[in-house]
Amino acid sequence: MAKALLNFVLFQASWFAAVLGGAHGWPWTGSLVAVLAVRVHLVMFEGNRKRELQLIAFIVLLGLVVESLLMQSGVIVYRSPEPVAVFPPVWILAMWLAFGTLPNGVLGWLHGRLWLAAVFGAVSGPLTYQAGAALGAAQVSENMLGALGFIGLVWALAFPLILRVAAVSKQ
């Protein structure tokens, strides 16, 4: 229970550091907090560090694909773009880095419940992007309902995939 709570708190700190850093021109702030969150996570998962690092790497790469898709489709525009505009900002990837600690951390209870994970992704994904936009880090497309629906669909597919990969990596 204490590990799950710490995992949740560190992810939330990473999320806020990344979003507020992105909104205010400090894109590396979230990266520093995310690296700390991953470091603490790896200490907690001592015996499985290699598998956890592989899972986190997979999630960051998936994040790169998902965010690039959302950007290129015009669903989301980030406030602090990187030098190469086809790639998401570093602070977004920092969020995915910290998110990589959740499948075997606080969200581990969703293993084996892929339909519930899809619903969780479909609801929490759009809410998270909307919250980031409200804090000034991004702008969601003018077609808000369509954009949030697309984000929900992407997360309804991505989150069960992440949990499935997490489960396979534990075997």
Rounded to whole angstroms, what are the CA distances from 125 to 7, 66, 132?
19, 12, 11
Domain containing 80 equals 2-170
Check residue 81 and give its pLDDT.
Answer: 62
Please compute the mean of the pLDDT values over residues 34-62 and round it to a whole number.
Answer: 92
The enclosing H or E element of 42 equals helix 28-44
Per-residue pLDDT at 27 exceeds 90 = no
Residue 75: which residues within 8 A CB-CB, separation 6 or more?
A: 140, 141, 147, 150, 151
Q: Which two tokens stand for residue 101?
A: 């600690």
What integer pLDDT is reported at residue 111 of this predicted model? 92
Beta strands in the chain (DSSP E): 76-78, 138-140
Instruction: Provide the pLDDT confidence category of residue 60 given band limits of 50, 70 and 90.
Output: very high
Mean pLDDT confidence for 48-70: 94
d(CA 53, CA 110): 20
Average pLDDT over every residue of 103-127: 95
Number of domains in the chain: 1
pLDDT of residue 83: 55
Residue % of the chain over a pLDDT of 70 = 95
Of the candidate ranges 28-32, 35-39, 85-89, 111-115, the one whose mean pLDDT is the lowest: 85-89
Q: What is the pLDDT of residue 2?
A: 86
- The overall pTM is greater than 0.85: yes
